Amino acid sequence: MLFLTQRFSPSPEDLEREKKLISDVSTDVESEPERISIHGLSPFSESDGDLQTESSFGHVSSIGKASARETSSVCSGSVDGDSYLLKRKKGNLRMSMPMTLSFCYIALLWLREPVTLSDLLRFVTEGHIPYLNAFQCFPEEMKLYGADLKIFRVESWPVYEDVHNKMSELSAFLDLPCFPAITDSCFLHPNILCIKYLMEANLPDELHNWTCRVVKKINVGETDFLTLDPVNKSARKVKYDVLAAAIIIVVLKLLFLLDDQYEWLHANFAGKRNQKNKEGCLWFDFKKWYKVIKKSVDVEQKKLDEERARCLWKCEKPLFYSSKEKSVVLKKRQMVVNLQRQFGTLSGSMQVAEKQSPSSFQLNWAEENTDSNCFHGHILEGILQEKGNSLTAMNTKYWLCSVKLCNEKICGQLTHYKESDFPQSYQFVLNLFSFLLRVPASLIHEEVCLIEHKLFKTKRHRK
């Protein structure tokens, strides 16, 4: 945030620029939706002692003794702060909190760190990465003034597609070279990511052999496909975590069909077999897996909803826009604190759970912690059959999520997802990975459709 430490140089155009800002504030920046006045802004917080008047504010800064015009310029914020509030021209990239996350993601990709974009955004929502009211972490010499308040005050969580698109634009704008190659030993390779999500979704280990076969069949494990090359504008920017989740869903459709009939028939057969033969490896029971996963996800989703409901969009130590507003701001803040205390007493949730260390896994399926509800060691007997020297699926049918893809330039997206159009088993699996990745189900569904069209390209052309 280098521009925060810079200040306007005194110039006759400053006042004219500020007057223009007041009448031409754009809401394009992902931050505070309400319009704020540029004049008379002060960085005073609740912890400050005696409030200083606007006329003496210029003495607080390092400028020393300044004229009224110089003070107004200092209070306007960083050197380029006002440009962020002007109407955005097409193709211009401006700094914002989502753009900051794009910078972070670019760095993670360059270093090939074992952190996906969904992990990065989840760490933000869990509070491990400063995002809401991030200016509270700034050092004393970087207090916010004027237009900078609007840039760094956000009241919405970052969106996966938004950050990913900004990353693509930013890497091209910076004219970065081709990123380090993503090989089969890299964490972001689909074969390795599939292991991670199979473990987190509590699915059998044998499914990994099938995900690897699908990856090889559709050539999405190639280095040229996975490695980010900003110069190549025609190359598709891969969403690594979404791709891995979609591959697992396609494999589940290949083996279990997920049509609300075949998977339940096999589950009844597997359940009866497991009751008779409790010794040895258990057969994978889709119905039992569904009940275990649904119960765990419902509990975690309830916790997530409660945490978001308790989220404080305003900072604990509010900024006063002027010395005259101090009493009003403090009074409102006290009312909020009192209401929160009363609500916590009534709901019995006064004690806030201690923040845990960030982890790549959200669900723990260790054998000793889940009362034998861990399905990692279960086998796919009854689903597979030997054919020659390899195993094939006993199910010979398959239904496509989308027979024809849309024109992205016309529709804005390749597919259209409507829950009522698909079987409930498919919806459940889709929503499971939507929860794990914290992305819309439609985004994973679109990736599933793309994989299916690559996997069954020859058969579709024959038809």
Give the 3-state secondary structure of residue 400.
coil
What dihedral do alpha carbons 164, 227, 189, 165 form, nearest 10°? Answer: 10
Question: How far apart (Å, rounded) are the C-alpha atoms in residues 283 and 276?
Answer: 12
Exposure of 96 by Cβ count < 10 A (0-12 exposed, 13-18 middle, 19+ buried)?
buried
Which letter does DSSP use for residue 82 in this model? G
pLDDT value, residue 311:
78
Q: Are 163 and 102 in contact (CB under 8 A)?
A: yes
pLDDT value, residue 390:
81
> Which residues does residue 391 pair with via DSSP β-bridges, in sequence order?
386
Structure-block tokens of residue 371 = 């009362």
Could you tell me how many residues make up the chain? 463
**Percent helix, strand and coil across the chain, each to the nearest 5:** 50, 0, 45
Identify residue 242 by its one-letter amino acid code.
Answer: V
CA atoms within 13 A on the CB side of 419: 9
Max CA-CA distance within the chain? 90
Dump strand ranges (E) for 141-236: none
> Which residues does residue 381 pair with via DSSP β-bridges, in sequence order?
384
Q: What is the pLDDT of residues 377-404, one digit of tens each?
A: 999 988 988 887 788 888 889 999 988 8
Structure-block tokens of residue 367 = 């054998």
Q: How many angstroms separate the first and last alpha carbons of the chain?
A: 57
Residues 244, 246, 251, 252, CA torsion sign: positive
pLDDT value, residue 322:
55
Question: How far apart (Å, rounded) are the C-alpha atoms in residues 436 and 5?
Answer: 39
Structure-block tokens of residue 363 = 């669900």
Structure-block tokens of residue 450 = 């793309």
φ/ψ region of 400 (left if φ > 0, alpha if ψ in -120 to 50, else beta) reads beta
Question: How far apart (Å, rounded) are the C-alpha atoms in residues 434 and 156?
Answer: 19
Closest CA to 153 of 36, 266, 276: 36
Cα 392–chain centre separation: 36
Question: How far apart (Å, rounded) are the C-alpha atoms in residues 182 and 137?
Answer: 34
Low-confidence ranges of the chain (pLDDT < 50): 1-12, 14-15, 18-75, 350, 370, 461-463
CB atoms within 10 A of CB 357: 5
pLDDT value, residue 69:
40
Closest CA to 240 of 452, 447, 454: 447
Render 289-335 in DSSP notation, one character per residue.
Answer: HHHHHHHHHHHHHHHHHHHHHT---S-SSPPPSSGGGHHHHHHHHHH
Identify residue 99 by its one-letter amino acid code.
Answer: M
- Residue found under tokens 């979609």: 246
> Which residues does residue 373 pair with via DSSP β-bridges, in sequence order?
none
List Cβ neighbours of 165 (8 Å cut-off, separation of 6 or more).
Answer: none
Structure-block tokens of residue 2 = 């280098």
Is the whole-model pTM more than 0.75? yes
User: Apex CA 196: angle with CA 430 and CA 228, to 5°?
Assistant: 85
Angle of helix 424-437 versus helix 286-309 axis, rounded to 10: 40
